[in-house]
Every structure is written in C-alpha cells, then in structure tokens.
Amino acid sequence: MTDQMTPIDRAKYASAYCAADFVKDGMRVGLGTGSTASWLVRRLGARVKNEGLRIIAVPTSTRTAQLAHEVGINVVSLDEARWLDLTIDGADEFDAELTLIKGGGGALLHEKIVATASDQMIVITDPAKEVNALGAFPLPVEVIPFGWQASKALIEEILASMDVLDRQTRLRMNGDAPYVTDEGNYILDLALGRIGNARQLSLVLNQVPGVVENGLFVDIADQVIIGHPDGAVELRDLSDGSAQVSHRQVELAEASNIFDDI
C-alpha cells in the first residue's frame, strides 16, 4: 500500500500515526476533519481493536463521525462529553506561532468549538502547510445564508483597512449551488495573499452581522506534528511558551496493515 501512496500521503500518515500515540486510555478526544485527520481516525480504530483502547470521541463533522463509527470508536456529542482532554486536527496553513488557517474542508465552526473545549490541541500536518506568513490559502468565513451578500459586502469594506495583500472574496460552491456546512451555513473564501495581523483580522471579521466564525485559529494550538514522506516526524511543542523540538521515526510499512487491522 505504501508504494501506492503519494509522498504527501506518506507524510500525512506519519504525522497522524505519531499523534495517535498521545491518546491514552480513558481520554475524551476531539477528532478533526480532513485527509490527515482521517488517517488518525483509522489508526485510533486499529488501537481500539488491537489494544483495547477505550476512548470517547467527539467528531468535528458528519464525515469524521461516520468514519469513527465504522472503525469502532465510541462517538458522542460535545454536550455529552462536556470537556475534552485532547483534540487532534489538521490545518490548511500554520506559522511559527502555531496560528492556523482551517476550514478548507468546510468544518471550521465545529473544529474551533471542539478545539477550544479541549485542554490541548495537537495539529497534524505535512511540511507544505508551514508558511512564513498566513494568507496564501484562502481564509474561510462561515456566514448564515440570510443576507449573505450583505455580509460579503461588509467584509469587503472591512478588508480595505486591514493589513492584507489582496481582497478577493467569493462564495464557496458545490457544483451549481452554494456549499452548505453541517450547520446549514455558507462559506465565503477570502483570497488575501498575506495576513499581516491574524488576531486583529479574526476579531474584526467576527463583528460582522451574519458572520458565524472564521478560519483563523489564534492561541488555540499547543503542538504541531509534522510528518515527512520518509516517515520522519518533527514535533514542536509551544504549550509552555518556548518552542521545544523533538524527532521520531514512523515505520511506513505499518500503513500497509492499517485497513486490515480495522
């Protein structure tokens, strides 16, 4: 199977496999959404089956919930779990301070709620997602359908005074119809090129009537696990305010068995 995986797939697998080791018996865990998070869910499913790992999981999307059910993970709502020990999720971009852009998969609202209801957030990713300045990836902003064009106009007006390179906004589509989130909302994707002050932009965007949430994750992530195509993994921990870096190696041959193990 590893021969059929792209280098990016191998990198994502390595980071997800490493992150799964942080999940301990009895934990309440938030499960992210996206391709890297799906590797995590499968690995945790294998641990549940083969090691008897007992966890309670809160998925951030219906897609993740379905996969978690399929691999035998006990899934509950966030209201049932109340608070989480750990959330593990991917990112579309991250910088040196672990500020993130998320929401490329359309689950940014649930992802942010779950992450902020956790004692710790670990980001699993590949090297291509690391940037010097956020903004090359379009910033998702979730808006309610009612009056979304008015919300879009207000956002465009606000962007004129923000420290960004570009100011293009577009409604995310699903074929000929607007893309609809799990909460029944729309997403505006902001092509900004570069974001000079993520904290300020996040606060200002959330003041716009009709905006539910934006995809900037500021002061939420504690650790990033960066996988590489050869199975090398870099762990950066910023939870105590100083960057602590360690390295591990994941045996990629394990990926050949992950589906058989489930």
Q: Which residues are annotated as a binding site?
A: 33-36, 89-92, 102-105, 129
Ranges of beta strands (E only) in the chain are 28-31, 56-59, 74-75, 86-89, 93-94, 100-101, 121-125, 139-143, 168-171, 173-174, 177-178, 186-191, 211-214, 216-217, 223-227, 232-237, 244-249
Measure Cα distances from 44 to 48, 155, 262 in Å.
6, 40, 9
Cross-strand bridge partners of residue 29: 57, 86
Of 103, 87, 121, the closest CA to residue 224 belongs to 121
Query: 181: which DSSP letter?
Result: -
Q: From CA 19, how far away is CA 55, in angstroms rounded?
A: 15
Residue ranges for the binding site for substrate? 33-36, 89-92, 102-105, 129
DSSP result, 205-258:
HTTSTTEEEESEE-S---EEEEE-TTSEEEEEE-TTSS-EEEEEE--GGGGGGH
Asked if residues 161 and 205 have their Cβ atoms less than 8 Å apart, the reply is: no
| Catalytic residue positions, numbered | 111
